[in-house]
Structures are given as structure tokens and as C-alpha cells.
Structure 1
């Protein structure tokens, strides 16, 4: 069967089948797997390093993570402007992966909390800069009719890395201790940079063109159908809270009749199921997007989130009762992240791909921060049921906007 792609201002367009699992696409997928596994090791061990080893209070951990996430969000927007140039985006991708690996691993040698703060902030800034460059590079590599599957593979590998990284952290801590475990995270991080180099070597060289001044361009990105899709994405991200709130909800619900440690372990097990579901859903979601259009796939993912949040609002108190909510949320994030990237790659002007992915990343970061903050406030001041009910309602609004946007003109 012929694949289909979604063209600007029109519905799915029938096209001949094209090979999508190329060395370049595989290289970027490998980079996402290795990089995520690499930086998840220091992320998982950062609380122990700060509080147990360096004696810092928990508030310092929160401050470091908050500042680092904020810098990463700003870097994604700026990185998008830098990545508009095809030649520059290659250098930024390689440099971003390398710098993230080196600075993250360097926290192993920190002797004070302020040193951890500087290294973490630098690593997350480099990580933010590389994201639009990597996404734009993948659009350069993959045929347009296979964007869904290409971005689906990248998302699947990223989610798989999020499963492997913490498991590696557990093994390494038992074998060599916290500091050495963090230091050894440089190995998968640098392998990720090499994987990006491998992808670039299997990509057609970009046409040489006169470089324009570097500037953040938002208004040109929002013209046409991409503006409507971005509106639906923005509403979705305002309801896309951190997965830690899902774990908190499960821990509270499972705490009845169980000790706190057992409830926490069961909740983490459900979170692993969430990540596995996200990994397994990504490539099928991309294949559906290639055939039916990325915007439609995005709307389906948002609908899955509405169902998941409704289940969290109702609040079952057993593992089997909560499992459908976590699996639905995992399938949803696998579909949505894949479709978001494929939609932007399809609808963005080629000369503004970097800015388009930079804006997407900024919307994701800002929306996640707002969603998590608002949900946390409602969770504590009103009730968990109201908090997740509000998230489900936000998903319904986003779904309506995306369905309207996804209709052929």
C-alpha cells in the first residue's frame, strides 16, 4: 500500500512507498537511545550525590533542577534560530550531544553543590540547543512521506533510553559507587555524539546558501496550517503534566492498606509500564501518521490522554485498576510526541525548520511547566480528582482544535 503524507493546506496525499529505515534515520535513533540512557544515569543519582554525598538540602536539588529546566527551555527556542541553517544545525547537533555528555559526567567530580549547579545548568542548556537541530536534521534525512515512522523510531529509542538509564544506574552504583557511576555515563553520551556523526555522513550535503542573520522567528512560522496545529499543541501542552504527578496519584491511591515503601514501588512499576507503552506505540503511531496525516494521529493521542486523565480522576485503588490509566497515558505520549514532530516537519517551511522545531520545543517546555504547577496546586488545595478532571477537560479542548485543523481545506 502506498504511504501518505500531509501537505500544507491539504489532507493526506497518496505517494509511492519509500525506504525510511536508512542509515541516517538509524543513526539519529541510536543517538536518542544512547543519549537518554546516558543522561538518565546522573539524573537518577543526582539526589543521592547532592544530599548524601555533598550534604545539601532537598531544596537545593529543586532549585538546581528548576533553573536547569528553565535554561533548557530558553535554549531550545534559541537553538531553533541557529538550526535554520542546514550546515550550522549539523555542528550544533554534534556539539550539543558532546557537551551534554561531558558536563553531565563531570558532576561526578563536584565537591560542592554550586559546582553541580553550574555543570547541570550547562549540560541542560547544551541539551536544549541540540533538540531543534536534531529534529531538523531528521527532516533533512527522511523522505517526507515517511516522517511519521522516522520520528516514531526516534521517540521510541528516546523512551527506551529512559527505561535503560535508571536500570544502568542501579547496576553501576552497586558495582562502582555513585561518583564512578555518574562518571561512566560519559560513555553512552559520547557514543550518542558518534551516532549523530554517523547519521550526518549518510546524509546528502545541504545546498550552500547565503547565511541570514540569526534571529528568533515566530510569526512566519505560525502562518498557514502550522499556526492552527501549533494552537492545538499549545492547548495540549497546558494539560501535559509531569509524569511524576501520575506516580504521586498512584502512590496515594495504593497507600491504603500498604506501607509507604510498598506503595511507592508499585507506583514506579506502573511508571515502567507507562514508558514501555510509549516505546511500543511510537512507531505504529508514525506509520498511522504517514498514511492518515500527522494531525489526525496527534488528535488521537490527545484523545487517549483525555481517557487516561479521566481514569486518574476516578482513581482506582488497585494495581490492576490503575494499569489501564498508565498504559493509556503511555500510548498517548508515544503518539503525541511522534505526531507533533512529524506535523512540524511536514508543515514548516524548509528555510524555517529550525525555528519551527525551536518554537515547538519552547511550547512543550513552557506548557509542561505550567501544567505541572497548576495541577500540583489543584491537587493539594482542591482534590486530586479535580486536578485530573481539569487536565481531561483541557485534552477535550485540544482535541476539538486539532480535529478542526486537520480537516482538508
Structure 2
């Protein structure tokens, strides 16, 4: 049975400090697994993998990272052991990554690659639920945005560190992946410290409104949540991947392959800035700011697949901005639609649907690119117009506005 903490209990850390420390945890974890993912393909190839094997292993890994959340989310809700799921997921990731550098067989490396992604599935619904409690006090948009911005710092530092170690060691994967054990250990140490300081982050969210309680203990997810998932899935179906954009850059002779990572790093910077901006706007103006996502997604295709290098570079920055909104404010809105008791389940369903739509979008945009860049741009524009229309007709982007307006700190958000 779950230990029920009194609503009046005061957390040892302020909500903002909790969000910031949790963001540093994600920064360190991204340092680890983004550093490893930047060389997964070459590492597997060095062990004898073919292109088919690399594609299959990474594909299975991504499917596990998203699909298994349909299981881990409801289990986290049922057991209420959110810290346990979070710590276990992070531990699986930070332990498997350094081992990649010492295994000498393809099957073992492939198993570790998939295991790292399973760790993502184990922790994500529980982690987002913990974060949503503290973000209810800071402003959910801003709380998730600050977390995402810190997260992306690690996503940049990790690959750059691995690349530097590979350059110094002449391409030796063992030290390049072994160095990631240091931020991995720091991840777990900081996470355990945070759990000891704030054992029950739900105390940040003492919402006892009847409507909130109705969705807190069980039952079905609200209809508006499913409408929201349809809107997001439709938007992602018409969203080009960076892999396709980088392919266009290199095949089209617009940029040398060695320069693509620098453009990607710039996109990650745009990601962080857009997350902060959209999060602030969400807390101030409500879910209507998410109507900008279909517009951004259409602009990505229009810029990235038309014109010269400058136009494509602008498309890449817009792509990064759209990802920033997807990774922060979209998640914040889920917490305003679903009560605490079903929130981890909602995050599991949301992530799985998002991943399936992103996969479908990658296939669709890749096929359309082979047909014609013009057809790709026109089709994406049509899909995003349909998504925008759906959101307006079903009012999915205003569903959580009542919670936004009622949150503590709303008045401060509106003050000059």
C-alpha cells in the first residue's frame, strides 16, 4: 500500500529547485546516452554489423523506448512507486552505456543498445509524473521548459565529448564510452539525493478540486486527452526528421557531411530557446500557443527542402524550435488534462502514440522526398492545415486552460 503523506507537508526543496535539480539529472543522463547514440552505428559496424543489422537493432530499440511505456505507465500508476521506476530506468541506462565499450561481440552490443532504450521506457512516465507535480507550482509550461533546456545541454555536450575522446585515442571506443561512466554515476547520486530530500513530490500539487479528484484515482482517460493525442499524432505524421534533412543537405551538395553535426548543435540551441519561450507563453496564454506547432512544422518542410543553404539552415533551426515545443510544452499540457492518479498512464499512451506517428511521418516524408521535394512540401502543408483545423474544431488546445488559470503563481506569471 502506498504511504499517504499529509497534504500540508512541506517539501524540503522549493518547487523551482526541484525542477532545476531534476533538469541537471536529465542533463547528466543525456550526456551519457546521447554520447553513446552518436556512435552506435559505427560501433556496431566495427563488430561486423551490416546496415540491415544496425537498422534493425536501433529500430527495435526505439520501438522499445516508446511502446513499452504503455506498460510502464500504468504500472507506475498502479504501484505509485514513481521514484523506484525513475531510478531503475536511469540505472539501466547509465550502466549499459559504458559496457558497450568493453563487449567484444555483436550480439552483446546489440543487446546493450536495446537495453539502454528499455531504460528510457521504464523511467519516462514516472519521471514526467514527478516533474508535473513540481511544475504545477512553478507553472507547468515553464517547469517543463527549464527541464528540457537543461536536458538539451547534455545532448550537445555528450556527443562532443565522445567525438573528442575518439579523436585523441585514434578511434578507440572503449575510453570514449568509458568516460561516460562518470556522468552516469553523478546521475544516480544526484537522483538518490533528490529522492531523499523530496520523497513525495505530489505534495507540490495539493489540488483537491472535485474535478481533479475524479480523474485522480482511476477510470478512463478523459475524452479530451484522446482528442489531443489525435491532434499531436496528425502533426507528427507531417513532421520531417533531421535524418531526412541532413540527407538532403549532403546528397544535394549543400553541406559536407563533417559540418552537419555543427548545424545539428545549432538546432539543439534553438530547441532549448523555443522550449523556454513556449513554456512561458503556455503559462501566460494557455494551450492556444500549441496551435503554433502545425505552423512551425509546415515551415520546416517549406524551408528545409527548398532553396539554398541559407534557407535550409533556417529550416533546421525551425526544426529544432518545433522539437523544443514537442519535448516540453506538449508534455506540460498532458498534466493539465489528466489527474495525478492516471497521469503516468497518460504519459505512456501519449509517448507511444507520438512515437508511432513520428515513425509513420518518417516513412511518409522519406517516400515523398524520393517522389518530389515540391510534393513533400505541399503534402506536409496539407497535413498541418488539417491538424490545425482539428485542434480548433475540437478545442483540444484549450482543454487545460482552466487548470492553467487556477494554478498557484498564475498571478505572478501575468505581472510585469
Q: Same fold (TM over 0.5)?
A: yes
* Matching of residue 225 in structure 1 with residue 220 in structure 2: no
Gaps of 5+ in 1: 1-18, 209-216, 256-261
Which of 379, 384, 399 is equivalent to 1:395?
384
- 1:265 Cα shift? 3.2
- 1:86 Cα shift? 7.2
- 1:329 Cα shift? 1.7
2:320 paired residue number: 330
- 1:58 Cα shift? 2.4
- 1:316 Cα shift? 1.3
- 1:25 Cα shift? 0.6
Which of 269, 293, 296 is equivalent to 1:304?
296
Which of 375, 388, 397 is equivalent to 1:386?
375
1:238 paired residue number: 237
- C-alpha separation between the residues in 1 aligned to 2:185 and 2:369? 40
Question: Alpha-carbon deviations, 1:178-212, whole Å to 9, x = none?
Answer: 1121122122223223333333334362689xxxx
Gaps of 5+ in 2: 1-12, 204-216, 403-416
Contact 1:80 / 1:132 at 8 angstroms: preserved in 2? Answer: yes
Question: Alpha-carbon deviations, 1:17-69, whole Å to 9, x = none?
Answer: xx9862211121111111111112221222222223x2322222111101111
Contact 1:241 / 1:371 at 8 angstroms: preserved in 2? Answer: yes
Task: Report the aligned-residue RMSD.
Answer: 2.5
- C-alpha separation between the residues in 1 aligned to 2:398 and 2:140? 20
1:344 paired residue number: 334
Give the 3 Å change call, closer, same or farther, for CA 193–386 of structure 1 in structure 2: farther
- C-alpha separation between the residues in 2 aligned to 1:373 and 1:99? 30
2:207 paired residue number: none
- C-alpha separation between the residues in 2 aligned to 1:371 and 1:119? 27
Which of 164, 178, 185 is equivalent to 2:180?
185
- C-alpha separation between the residues in 2 aligned to 1:23 and 1:202? 11
Contact 2:90 / 2:123 at 8 angstroms: preserved in 1? Answer: yes
1:10 paired residue number: none
- C-alpha separation between the residues in 2 aligned to 1:402 and 1:218? 26
Contact 2:130 / 2:202 at 8 angstroms: preserved in 1? Answer: no
Give the 3 Å change call, closer, same or farther, for CA 398–190 of structure 1 in structure 2: farther
1:265-284 counterparts in 2 under 5 A?
Answer: 265-284=258-277
3-state SS in 2 of match to 1:143 = helix
- 1:390 Cα shift? 2.0
Contact 2:270 / 2:317 at 8 angstroms: preserved in 1? Answer: yes
Give the 3 Å change call, closer, same or farther, for CA 76–31 of structure 1 in structure 2: same
TM-score by length of 2: 0.83
- 1:359 Cα shift? 0.8
1:163-182 counterparts in 2 under 5 A?
Answer: 163-176=156-169, 177-182=172-177
Which of 248, 269, 290 is equivalent to 2:283?
290
- C-alpha separation between the residues in 2 aligned to 1:33 and 1:376? 31
Give the 3 Å change call, closer, same or farther, for CA 336–67 of structure 1 in structure 2: closer
- 1:358 Cα shift? 0.5
Contact 1:97 / 1:190 at 8 angstroms: preserved in 2? Answer: no
1:106-255 counterparts in 2 under 5 A?
Answer: 106-144=99-137, 146-176=139-169, 177-203=172-198, 205=200, 220-221=220-221, 223-255=222-254
* Matching of residue 35 in structure 1 with residue 26 in structure 2: no
- C-alpha separation between the residues in 2 aligned to 1:242 and 1:292? 29
